Chains A and B, each alone.
Chain A
Amino acid sequence: GAVVSQHPSRVICKSGTSVKIECRSLDFQATTMFWYRQFPKQSLMLMATSNEGSKATYEQGVEKDKFLINHASLTLSTLTVTSAHPEDSSFYICSATGAGAANEKLFFGSGTQLSVL
């Protein structure tokens, strides 16, 4: 089945630094990728939708200048948390879907646990 690889799985950073999370589709062309954030004991919250070669569409309340999303190729999307603060500590998850049969399902990465000190 289709695989989405997310890296890193865990990152600890100092407040004020930026962190980049990568999401790769390994065996299909991901025309659309989604980024979610999940706090402990809560559901996944959609942050943004990115289509390859286009600017990301952010959900209401999500700061686009803080959470930079790049989807420059059909196999890679990145989420950069800029000037991270402790309140940005969360579990970040990407998902991807593609064209044709690959659009039937959403494939999820394994998630990135971000801890900002």
Chain B
Amino acid sequence: DAKTTQPPSMDCAEGRAANLPCNHSTISGNEYVYWYRQIHSQGPQYIIHGLKNNETNEMASLIITEDRKSSTLILPHATLRDTAVYYCIVRVANTNAGKSTFGDGTTLTVKP
């Protein structure tokens, strides 16, 4: 079973920030939070990951709550090309046992 829950869909206006929430209330202490996105008929694309500190890269920001039971992916200025299914997953890093189970994800639609 997936360890994360996400809203099934969200809309966002082009140029505005898209905030995608994820609940992972059963996350273990050694599990990281990862975000991927998938555009139709392609493999998932890595966006960002973190353990407990907030992270930022050229694509997005990741905000993890202090209790680590939830997180939010922020796309600061959404474009039409950001329309995709966004998956939040948890996995153990730095070990060969870090398999990942995907939940249903959030379909983000960026509208003009």
Chain A residues within 8 Å of B, Cβ to Cβ: 1, 4, 6, 31-32, 34, 36, 42-46, 49, 51, 91, 93, 95, 97, 100, 103-111, 113
Contacts and interface: CB of A to CB of B under 8 A. Distances in A.
B interface bracket (residues with beta carbon within 8 Å of A): 20 to 34
Given A43-B104, A46-B101, A108 B43 contact: yes
Contacts of A108: 36, 43-46
Contacts, number: 66
A113 B99 contact: no
Contacts of B36: 106, 108
Interface of B: 2, 32, 34, 36, 41-46, 49, 87, 91, 93-96, 98-105
B41 A104 contact: no
Contacts of B87: 43-44
Contact of B99 (A4, A49, A103): A49
